[in-house]
Amino acid sequence: MQIVDYRQCAASELEDLCYSVFAESENAAEGRMVSKLVRQLTGDTPEQDVQGWVAVDDAGPVGLVFFSRLRIGERPDIVLLSPLAVRSTAQKTGIGRALVDHAREQLKAEGIAIITTYGDPAYYQRLGFQPLPQSVLPAPHELSFPEGWMGLSLSEEDVPEVAGDCVCVKAFDDPLYW
């Protein structure tokens, strides 16, 4: 397995991976929603506002992770991790962690200071994320599951308080995701 930039893979392969992972773990509607999100991230989001990496083997994509820019006040160094998907037959093998660890190093080298995500606290805490109160860093929309708003500082410090309205990329600018 190797980790490559998402642009080295066909967008349809990435969409198919997300559909299968989320349809199997949740339901077909969730699979369609995340597949559409990946289509928007790879096709409609300005290149400077999205990054992603894909774990590939001889059969193609096994897992992926995407990061999109969040704009809060004057901070240009905050990103949102979503989605993260690993083929069901390869889950619990460390691929998700490898993708996130690879991305952390790349993002830190590029000056990103904070990674946020909105997901399963039990999983993301194992990757070093901590609960993120909205008083510290606001989410772009009202959260239906506030415990899922998590943050990770790429420095040795905790996530600092960041004031201002949070604006996400267009692909995520839908209360349905939140």
Whole-number pLDDT of residue 152: 96
Whole-number pLDDT of residue 74: 85
What are 16-42's pLDDT values in tens digits? 999 999 999 999 999 999 999 999 999
In order of start, what are the domains of the chain with their CATH numbers? 2-177 (3.40.630.30)
* Percent of residues, the chain, with pLDDT higher than 90: 93
Residue 54 in 3-state DSSP? strand
Whole-number pLDDT of residue 73: 86
Q: Give me the helix-helix angle, 11-25 and 28-43, nearest 10°.
A: 150
Provide the pLDDT confidence category of residue 156 given band limits of 50, 70 and 90. Answer: confident
Q: What is the mean pLDDT of the chain?
A: 95
Whole-number pLDDT of residue 5: 97
Contact 76, 28 (CB under 8 A): no
Please, where are the H alpha helices in 44-175? 95-109, 121-126
Name the token pair of 67. Answer: 């990061």
How large is the average pLDDT for residues 70-94?
94
Whole-number pLDDT of residue 107: 98
What are 86-133's pLDDT values in tens digits? 999 999 999 999 999 999 999 999 999 999 999 999 999 999 999 999
